[in-house]
Amino acid sequence: MSKTFQACIRLLRPYQWIKNILLFTPLFFSARISLNLIITVSGALFCFCLTSSLGYILNDWMDRNRDKNHPVKCARPFCAGLITGMEALVLWGLIFILLIFCISLFTFPVGFLICLIAYFFLSVTYSLYLKHIVIFEIFVVAMGFVLRVMAGGAVANIVISDWLFMTVFFMSMLISVAKRKTELQILAKRASIHRESLKSYTLPYLTNLLWTLGGVTLVSYALYTVEKGNGLVYSLLPATYGVIRFFYLTDNARGGDPIRALFGDAQLLIVTLLFFTFLGLKIYL
């Protein structure tokens, strides 16, 4: 396998595609799972994976100079000189063509296509400008997660609970704030060089915001479980432990990437599996 091909794969960040599992959230909680819906939502999920990779390519190109000041991101393909701008442009074009082809294979509802286009537009504008607007940039990242859930509801023709919507939104805000806090902890005085918006944040402010969002997230989820009934409220136990454990990891500068935090910490992974196992049993048995 050539180094250029490996760099192209890394540029697409396939490990980040796990975030797109959020498209299955409405279907999972609806208890209406069927083979046809699984296939359709899987197709929608793959379209979001391709769209998110288009955003990652643009974002890495725009941040190639800033990322050199980050101890981890400096190893990204552009910073390491593993791929040129022209090669990345060709890759971007190929992924875009593949995305259009995948969309043509399915008869997706208009609502899903609107969410997909909105997510693409959000990714592009974030990379080009919005990431530099203090506080608002956190909202933009959170809306990316919310759009995934809305797209999942649209493609499966499922009405999303208001409380589930709020839970995903605040949880996404929490993850975004944790990332900013971790970057401040790791980079210290170099933080603003890597990310311009970080010069306006302080660790006490982000810490207070993190705990506030954690509380609001759990309250929103609690209200959702009460609305659904069937004993789902007891899933708050592993959910609360998971949130507190994530805060612990963030305080130790390990909360910058939720995917790496999840698979890099045994306790967080186990409690997450227990959480979804409990939900699955309560919803489908």
Each residue of 190-217: pLDDT tens digit?
665 666 777 788 889 999 999 999 999 9
What would the mean pLDDT of 66-91 be, rounded to a whole number?
A: 78
C-alpha 94, offset from chain centre? 23
Q: What is the pLDDT of residue 4?
A: 77
- Top pLDDT among 32 and 115 is at 115
Query: In angstroms, rounded to a whole number, what is the distance separating the alpha carbons of residues 258 and 216?
Result: 19
Q: What angle do CA 19, 234, 42 make, to 5 degrees?
A: 25
What would the mean pLDDT of 135-140 be, rounded to a whole number?
A: 90
Decide if 91 contacts 43 (C-beta within 8 A).
no
For 51-72, how does the pLDDT look when each residue is reduced to its tens digit (9 = 90+)?
Answer: 999 998 888 888 777 777 676 6
Query: In angstroms, rounded to a whole number, what is the distance separating the alpha carbons of residues 235 and 254?
Result: 25
| Mean pLDDT across the chain | 88
Decide if 180 contacts 57 (C-beta within 8 A).
no
Write the CA distances from 247 to 169, 207, 252, integer angstroms: 18, 9, 9
Q: What is the pLDDT of residue 197?
A: 75
Query: In angstroms, rounded to a whole number, what is the distance separating the alpha carbons of residues 155 and 149?
Result: 10
Helices 162-187, 203-228: inter-axial angle, 10-degree rounding: 160
Reported as a pLDDT band with limits 50, 70 and 90, residue 184 is confident
Domain ranges in the chain? 161-285
Q: Break the chain down into helix, strand, coil percent, rounded to 5.
A: 80, 0, 20
Q: Which residues make Cβ contacts (< 8 Å) with residue 218, sequence separation at least 6? A: 236, 239, 240, 243
Question: Considering only CA atoms, which of 186, 187, 161, 195 is closest in space to residue 252?
Answer: 186
What would the mean pLDDT of 4-33 be, rounded to a whole number?
A: 87
pTM: 0.87
